[in-house]
């Protein structure tokens, strides 16, 4: 394998010294970039883009040509696993993802087969292989999956939701059905991420987008325990290289100690928690990723730079910080503002790494 020219991101996840704080952006490959929109139009629709390894590679590399980012992240979707399970994923304009055959009962769960990553999800593995080859060792490649709870919300609700009434009804009226679904999803995610690692991903991340809609007790019961199972089942060393794993729960700031206890290497933070508080609570156990509000990127350059400086000062000196947004970059953010953000992280972080 080609040795990495820039390994700041991997070093930071392992709490090793770096010269400047590494930075990447959630959804950095995507719809805020005009060049992405061109490729998306060429593909025809979103899933056609995801399932074409060459085009997925192209959009993964696009932001790296614009900005000095310290990592690339696979261009894909969190709903690839449920789609491969036969639920009929499609995207409706203005409404987001939907499933033709949502899960409504035990029979629906029993019928689900765990996808083979090199068969039903081979297009993802081919994309990983293609991206890794084309990166030529410039920066590491991040693989990812949705968390079992987050995947289950879409599978039971039939798409996006605001109140999550269907899955919460299942959780409280028929918990055994939901646990069977979550367990099957955890097994699927383990296979999926391990296959991404074998294909070339040098770090993996689990996105628990909807864990924050649960109570503290139910978060541990329906979300965290399944992410802990995933962490335990992942390949953590491949071809002599450590493979760090990051867990991200949106609105999960109250559970940092429990997340750190899963054995993950890093915790992703959204913007609703002060990074200084997060570091004081768990910074001796795990690295931290985050955590600027993506909406700051609408601001003037001086305001963006100030926010970057404030977060860097909040984390302070020491290792184990990967700078990121607290969630995905918004589609109408000017690309030049993203450039201001990335440059500011490198410019102002050197003083904290002496």
Find all residues with CB under 8 Å of 310, minimum gap 6, and list them: none
- Comparing CA positions, the residue from 257, 297, 254 lying closest to residue 274 is 254
Domain boundaries along the sequence of the chain: 36-292
Q: Select the CATH number that applies to the domain covering 36-292 from these four: 1.10.630.10, 3.40.50.2300, 3.20.20.210, 3.40.50.970.
A: 3.20.20.210
What is the pLDDT, as a whole number, of residue 69? 98
Burial class (CB in 10 A: 0-12, 13-18, 19+), 118: middle
Count of other CB atoms within 10 angstroms of residue 346: 18
SS (H, E, C) 1-70: CCCCCCCHHHHHHCCCCCCCCCECCCCCCCCCCHHHHHHHHHHCCHHHHHCCHHHHHHHHHHHHHHCCCC
Residue 27 falls in the annotated catalytic set = yes
Q: Which of 70, 77, 265, 270 is catalytic?
A: 77
What is the pLDDT, as a whole number, of residue 1? 60
pTM of the model: 0.97
Q: Which of 9, 32, 36, 154 is catalytic?
A: 154
What is each CA distance from 259 to 3, 10, 78, 137, 206, in whole angstroms? 31, 20, 20, 31, 12
Residue 11 falls in the annotated catalytic set = no
Write out the chain's pLDDT in tens, 354 residues.
Answer: 678 999 999 999 999 999 999 999 999 999 999 999 999 999 998 999 999 999 999 999 999 999 999 999 999 999 999 999 999 998 877 778 999 999 999 999 999 999 999 999 999 999 999 999 999 999 999 999 999 999 999 999 999 999 999 999 999 999 999 999 999 999 999 999 999 999 999 999 999 999 999 999 999 999 999 999 999 999 999 999 999 999 999 999 999 999 999 999 999 999 999 999 999 999 999 999 999 999 999 999 999 999 999 999 999 999 999 999 999 999 999 999 999 999 999 999 999 998
Residue 31 falls in the annotated catalytic set = yes
**Structural contact between residues 184 and 115, judged by C-beta atoms closer than 8 angstroms:** no
- Write out the binding residues: 27-31, 77, 154, 209, 327
Alpha helix ranges (H) inside the chain: 8-13, 34-43, 46-50, 53-66, 80-82, 106-111, 122-135, 148-157, 165-173, 175-199, 216-219, 225-233, 256-260, 275-282, 301-315, 335-349
Q: Which of 8, 11, 40, 132 is catalytic?
A: 40
What is the pLDDT, as a whole number, of residue 253? 97
- Write out the binding residues for substrate: 27-31, 77, 154, 209, 327
């Amino acid at each position: 394998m080609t040795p990495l020219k820039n390994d700041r991101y991997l070093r930071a996840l392992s709490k090793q010294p770096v010269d400047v704080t590494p930075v990447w952006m959630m959804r950095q490959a995507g719809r805020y970039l005009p060049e992405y929109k061109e490729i998306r139009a060429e593909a025809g629709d979103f899933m056609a883009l995801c399932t074409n390894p060459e085009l997925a590679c192209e959009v993964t590399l696009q932001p790296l040509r614009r900005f000095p980012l310290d990592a690339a992240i696979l261009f894909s979707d969190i709903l690839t696993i449920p789609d491969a399970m036969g639920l009929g994923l499609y995207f409706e304009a203005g409404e987001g993802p939907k499933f033709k055959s949502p899960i409504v009962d035990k029979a629906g769960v029993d019928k689900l087969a765990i996808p083979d990553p090199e068969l039903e999800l081979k297009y993802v593995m081919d994309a990983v292989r293609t991206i890794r080859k084309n990166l030529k060792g410039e920066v590491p490649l991040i693989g990812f999956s949705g968390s079992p709870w987050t995947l289950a919300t879409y599978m039971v609700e039939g798409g996006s939701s605001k109140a999550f009434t269907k899955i919460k009804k299942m959780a409280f009226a028929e918990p055994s059905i939901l646990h069977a679904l979550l367990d099957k999803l955890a097994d699927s995610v383990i296979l999926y991420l391990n296959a991404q690692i074998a294909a070339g991903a040098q770090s993996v991340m689990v996105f628990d987008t909807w864990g924050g809609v649960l109570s503290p007790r139910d978060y541990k019961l329906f979300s965290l325990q399944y992410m802990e199972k995933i962490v335990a089942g992942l390949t953590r060393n491949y071809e002599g290289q450590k493979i760090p794993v990051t867990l991200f729960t949106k609105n999960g700031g109250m559970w940092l100690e429990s997340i750190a206890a899963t054995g993950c290497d890093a915790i992703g933070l959204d913007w609703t928690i002060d990074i200084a508080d997060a570091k004081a609570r768990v910074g001796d156990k795990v690295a931290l990723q985050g955590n600027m509000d993506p909406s700051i990127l609408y601001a003037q350059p001086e305001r963006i730079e100030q926010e970057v400086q404030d977060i860097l000062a909040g984390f302070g000196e020491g290792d184990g910080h990967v700078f990121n947004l607290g969630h995905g970059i918004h589609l109408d953010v000017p690309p030049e503002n993203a450039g201001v953000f990335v440059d500011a992280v490198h410019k102002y972080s050197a003083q904290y790494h002496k």
